[in-house]
Chain A
Amino acid sequence: MAIPKLGYLLKLPKFDHLEAKTIEEACSLLAKYKGKARVIAGGTDLLVSMKGREISPQYIINIKAIPNLDGINYSRKDGLVIGAMTTLAAIESSPIIGEGFPILSSAAHQTGSPHIRNIGTIGGNLCNAAPSADMPPSLIGLEAKAKIKGLTGERAVTVEQFFLGPGVSALKAGEILTEVQVPNPPPHTRGVYLKLPARTAIDIAVVGVAVVVTLDTKGVNIADAKIVLGAVASTPIRARQAEDIIKGKALDDELIQKAAQAAADEAKPISDVRGSASYRKEMVKVLTNRALKQATTQEG
């Protein structure tokens, strides 16, 4: 996120705007202008970075005219498929997602402002690879995959493996993200995404925690758990030790506190203008504790 320079209005640097009509065309253009081109989805992150002169691509490749990159589809067999160009507002308001994947509605709702969500897309949220992005922790918790197309074919990587570092995704030159695939969670699964600052429009996450827990058939012990932390490492990360602490056990306050402490220990935050490293660690503990309690007591 650029910090606006005071004293004059921010203008975009000059660039050529190219319209890709097909995925193949987008990939060819990206390969041809390797390093000089960027894909524009919603543009709500890209144009801010360009106004701040963090990046000045010579070519902007618009993929909004490519058919079938936008949409939400669900089947019992394959689960949920969200096209990369689906807006966060569409995800937030989708009854299918609200019913079967409420943690994703909640994460979308906590992203940006209503205005940003009307144009910002899930694909952009992933491809910008910001450690603080709001969608990835919940997607990782649900074991979602990113489908990637390139000139030589297509592949899928887990959303967890999609992030390599701040601003760096697994996309190679000439590849674009086409959809996000979210498998049906097992029965008795509940997810919660919490972020600080809570319910404050626009602000990016200082800490984000997604918790996805699956109870056993008796509804007592934790059969499976994912605890995913955002904004506290160079990518979103799983707190695997914290997960191991609660797996196979019935949650009580003491266990939740132990897991929350483990998650805080696993976080590797930096200090910046939004919060110090020690504050972020402390908040990982608070949010993990809160999210585990919510996930195991909420109705549904």
Chain B
Amino acid sequence: MKQLIQLTVNGEPHEVRVEPWKTLLEVIRDDIGLTGPKEACSTGECSACTVLLNGKPVNSCLVLAVEAQGKEISTIEGLSQSNQLHPLQDAFIRHGAIQCGFCTPGMLLSAKALLDENPQPTEEEIREAISGNLCRCTGYNKIVEAILEVAQSQ
């Protein structure tokens, strides 16, 4: 039995009919068509599926879509504005903080949520904020450096 839900995704309202067992991740990818959030572990351990739910990073693979009714969701697709990369995206590219790219949407959203709440984080706070996001390529240092640079230039 499908239920009608309203979601605001990257500032745009969406109405979708969803089955109750569909995760927010499945609905964002399959119904709304935004494939930025990735599914990897499906169990909340890798955070490749990170979206911001009312501004806070969550694992969208562990949120039921029907329970996101009325909420504001940000995905990586909403980060750049009028074809201008977000400063975090720009810094990730310049620092080589992207290799295969699979963790990158989640990393960027975790970093954005951190800087929105705490514009001048310490390196330790940055490492803490991305501690749920697994990256198998970069060894994390370049990611931390990229976030630190954006924080220091703000």
Contacts and interface: CB of A to CB of B under 8 A. Distances in A.
Interface of A: 1-2, 4, 9-17, 40, 43-44, 47-48, 51-52, 60, 62, 64, 89, 112-116, 118-119, 201-202
Nearest to B39: A9
A8 to B, nearest CB: 10
B128 interface: yes
B58 A115 contact: yes
| Interface size of B as a range | 20 to 34
B62 A47 contact: yes
A16 B1 contact: yes
B21 A118 contact: no
B43 A17 contact: no
Nearest to B56: A118
A94 to B, nearest CB: 15
Contacts of B43: 1-2, 4, 10, 48, 51-52
Contacts of B128: 114
Contacts of B47: 113, 115
7 contacts: A2-B43, A10-B42, A14-B19, A14-B21, A16-B1, A17-B64, A43-B62
Given A4-B43, A44-B59, A114 B110 contact: yes
Contacts of B3: 17
Given A115-B132, A116-B132, A201-B131, A43 B64 contact: yes
B50 interface: yes
Given A9-B39, A10-B43, A118-B58, A113 B66 contact: no
Contact of B41 (A4, A116, A119): A4
B36 interface: no
A115 B53 CA distance: 10
Contact of B20 (A9, A17, A113): A17
Interface of B: 1, 3, 19-23, 39, 41-45, 47, 50, 53, 56-59, 62-64, 66-67, 110, 128-129, 131-132
Contacts of B21: 11-15, 17
A225 B128 CA distance: 32
A51 B44 CA distance: 11
A60 B64 CA distance: 11
Of B39, B41, B62, B128, most A-chain CB atoms within 10 Å: B62
Of A14, A51, A118, most B-chain CB atoms within 10 Å: A118
Contacts of B66: 17
A87 to B, nearest CB: 9
A52 B47 CA distance: 18
A84 B17 CA distance: 30
Given A9-B39, A202-B45, A113 B62 contact: no
B67 A113 contact: no
B62 A44 contact: yes
Of A16, A62, A64, A119, most B-chain CB atoms within 10 Å: A119
Contacts of A52: 43
A112 B41 CA distance: 15
